[in-house]
Amino acid sequence: MSVDLSTTFTGIKFPNPFLLSSAPPTESESNIVRAFEAGWGGVVTKTIGLHPVVNVAGPKTKFLRYYPELGVSSMNKGRGGVLQSSWNWELISDKTLDWWVPRIGRIKKAFPDRVLIASIMAGSGSDKELDHWRSLATACQEQGADGLELNLSCPHMDREDMGSNIGKDQKLCSSVTQVVKGVAKVPVWAKLTPSTTDIVLEAGAVFTGGGDAVVSSNTFPSIPLVDPETLEFEMNVDGYVSSGGLGGPAILPQSLAKMSQMTRAFPERSFSGIGGISDFNQALNYLLLGCGTVQVCTAAMLDHAVGPNVIKRLVQGMSEFLEKNAHRGWKRLEDFRGIRRDRIVAHSQIRRPADSDYQGGHEPQEGYAEPARA
Ligand SMILES: Cc1cc2nc3c(=O)[nH]c(=O)nc-3n(C[C@H](O)[C@H](O)[C@H](O)COP(=O)(O)O)c2cc1C
């Protein structure tokens, strides 16, 4: 039986809901071409900016694995262990907008039915920086980019007016989104940082600014482990580290928690889920919470740089899932999207043993009616 994996998300038609996220798998034309040939429904380009980018003088990404026989987690003991996470302190693309522009045009001409989203990033501290957002947006959409993803989430910025420092500020989330919407002819997604107290507030600010979708998660702030022999951080430059980003299997439950907060608060809005996906079983979690697309980075990096086997497994997994559930009348993603969104409730709403009464931690008040449950 042939199944229909296609979907429409923020008005864009996708052959399947699986994208490579903005990261090394989408840092070059050749990678993106290979990704489309392998079957990815879409890609989000490595983030493009107008400010100078110089990466650290050492490795930019490593993978933390657990070695059960040694009882250790390490980045430096080879492939024998079980993957826990990626850790990176890589900045955005070190290629200029001029380098990207013709490539976006060429890729779209060669793959008109695949989705190319341009990830862009600028500052927010001056009119000049806000103009940079406009220039980036205009240049990419003129080349045929199907949509724009605003990077409000890069965790490695010293600049107060950029990256996750925008994503931590509701007013800036709104105003930057509004600036880009002012020139955008294509849908605008905003990628938020998970590193805030209540991500629902920043998501709301993006929607107030006119954003068409919220994307989450970027990597979680973290540091590498110390090697017990050398007492040096496993990843460092001249002995020094700074806070970088954790991705891969370790962040899946945390990223799902962030996503569930947002999809419950805005059930009618569009969300793209990222974090710890390597197979359809993980992607399914995001879809059941209400996401309309999902994105992958770490698993693709570890699979021939662009994830040809990952996309094969995602497509096969979703096809088998639809076939298995055909008796429920499910034919496509829209038929099961979001069906577990409302199963996440306040702690006090979870059933207690029949003979007990729980007031969410509050004492019953003598002489008053029962307090309303949250
Ligand atoms: C080496 C590396 C570079 C990344 N660069 C970017 C970037 O330029 N822009 C961006 O929005 N996210 C960037 N990310 C974050 C990923 O797109 C993704 O949100 C994150 O890795 C979580 O997904 P995963 O668990 O599938 O890895 C980067 C991640 C890694 C590991």
Residue pair 238/179 in contact (Cβ under 8 Å)? The answer is no
For residue range 110-127, what is the model confidence (pLDDT) as tens digits?
999 999 999 999 999 999
Give the CATH number of the domain where residue 294 resides.
3.20.20.70
Q: How far does the centroid of ligand 1 lie from the alpha carbon of residue 297, in Å?
A: 6
359 pLDDT tier (thresholds 50, 70, 90): confident
**What distance in Å separates the CA atoms of residue 269 and residue 214, rounded to the nearest whole number?**
8
Q: How far does the centroid of ligand 1 lie from the alpha carbon of residue 163, in Å?
A: 13
369 pLDDT tier (thresholds 50, 70, 90): confident
Segment 97-102 long-range contacts (CB within 8 Å, at least 24 positions apart): 97/48, 97/49, 97/50, 97/135, 97/136, 97/139, 100/45, 100/48, 100/140, 101/139, 101/140, 101/143, 102/143
Q: Could you tell me if residue 346 is inside a domain?
A: no
Give the per-residue pLDDT at 372.
66
* Span of 37-51, 60-74, 344-358 with lowest mean pLDDT: 344-358
The rounded percent of the chain whose pLDDT value lies above 90 is 92
Q: Quote the number of domains for the chain.
A: 1
Residue 240: is its pLDDT beyond 90?
yes
For residue range 263-284, what is the model confidence (pLDDT) as tens digits?
999 999 999 999 999 999 999 9
2 pLDDT tier (thresholds 50, 70, 90): confident
First to last CA, the chain: 46
Joined tokens for residue 34? 């290979």
Residue minimizing CA distance to atom 15 of ligand 1: 218
Q: How far does the centroid of ligand 1 lie from the alpha carbon of residue 371, in Å?
A: 45
Q: How far does the centroid of ligand 1 lie from the alpha carbon of residue 95, in Å?
A: 17
Residue 371: is its pLDDT beyond 70?
no
**Ligand 1 atom at minimal distance to the Cα of residue 252:** 25
Q: Could you tell me if residue 71 is inside a domain?
A: no
Q: How far does the centroid of ligand 1 lie from the alpha carbon of residue 22, in Å?
A: 6
- Which positions are catalytic? 154
| More confident position, 332 or 373 | 332
Q: What would the mean pLDDT of 354-362 be, rounded to a whole number?
A: 80
Q: How far does the centroid of ligand 1 lie from the alpha carbon of residue 245, in Å?
A: 8
Residue minimizing CA distance to atom 2 of ligand 1: 23
Residue pair 294/283 in contact (Cβ under 8 Å)? The answer is yes
For residue range 165-186, what is the model confidence (pLDDT) as tens digits?
999 999 999 999 999 999 999 9
Give the per-residue pLDDT at 374.
54
Give the per-residue pLDDT at 1.
59
Amino acid (1-letter code) at residue 250: A
Residue minimizing CA distance to atom 14 of ligand 1: 23
Q: Could you tell me if residue 69 is inside a domain?
A: no
**What distance in Å separates the CA atoms of residue 256 and residue 273, rounded to the nearest whole number?**
8
Q: Could you tell me if residue 365 is inside a domain?
A: no
- Alpha-carbon distances, residue 163 vs 167, 173, 204, 295 (angstroms): 7, 10, 18, 19
Which residue of 20, 21, 214 sits with most ligand 1 atoms within 8 Å of its CB, as the best mutation to test the pocket? 21
**Dihedral of alpha carbons 195, 200, 205, 206, sign:** positive
Q: How far does the centroid of ligand 1 lie from the alpha carbon of residue 289, in Å?
A: 21
Q: Which of 100, 187, 108 is nearest to 147 (CA)?
A: 187
Give the per-residue pLDDT at 200.
98
**Ligand 1 atom at minimal distance to the Cα of residue 46:** 8
Phi, psi of 192 (to 5 degrees): -95, 155
Q: Could you tell me if residue 39 is inside a domain?
A: yes
What is the residue-averaged pLDDT of the chain? 96
* Span of 107-116, 198-207, 348-357 with lowest mean pLDDT: 348-357
Amino acid (1-letter code) at residue 202: E
Q: Which domain holds residue 223?
A: 7-54+91-339
Q: Could you tell me if residue 369 is inside a domain?
A: no
**Ligand 1 atom at minimal distance to the Cα of residue 153:** 11
Residue minimizing CA distance to atom 29 of ligand 1: 23
Q: Could you tell me if residue 74 is inside a domain?
A: no
Residue pair 234/226 in contact (Cβ under 8 Å)? The answer is yes
Q: Which residues line ligand 1 (CB under 6 A)?
A: 21-24, 46-47, 60-61, 86, 88, 90, 92, 119, 151, 153, 191, 218-219, 247-248, 251, 274-277, 296-299
**What distance in Å separates the CA atoms of residue 189 and residue 122, rounded to the nearest whole number?**
15
Residue minimizing CA distance to atom 13 of ligand 1: 23
Q: Which residue has the tokens 């600028």?
A: 122
**Ligand 1 atom at minimal distance to the Cα of residue 218:** 19
Q: Could you tell me if residue 84 is inside a domain?
A: no
Q: Do the bridges between strand 244-247 and strand 82-88 make them parallel or antiparallel, or are there none, so unpaired?
A: antiparallel
Residue minimizing CA distance to atom 6 of ligand 1: 23
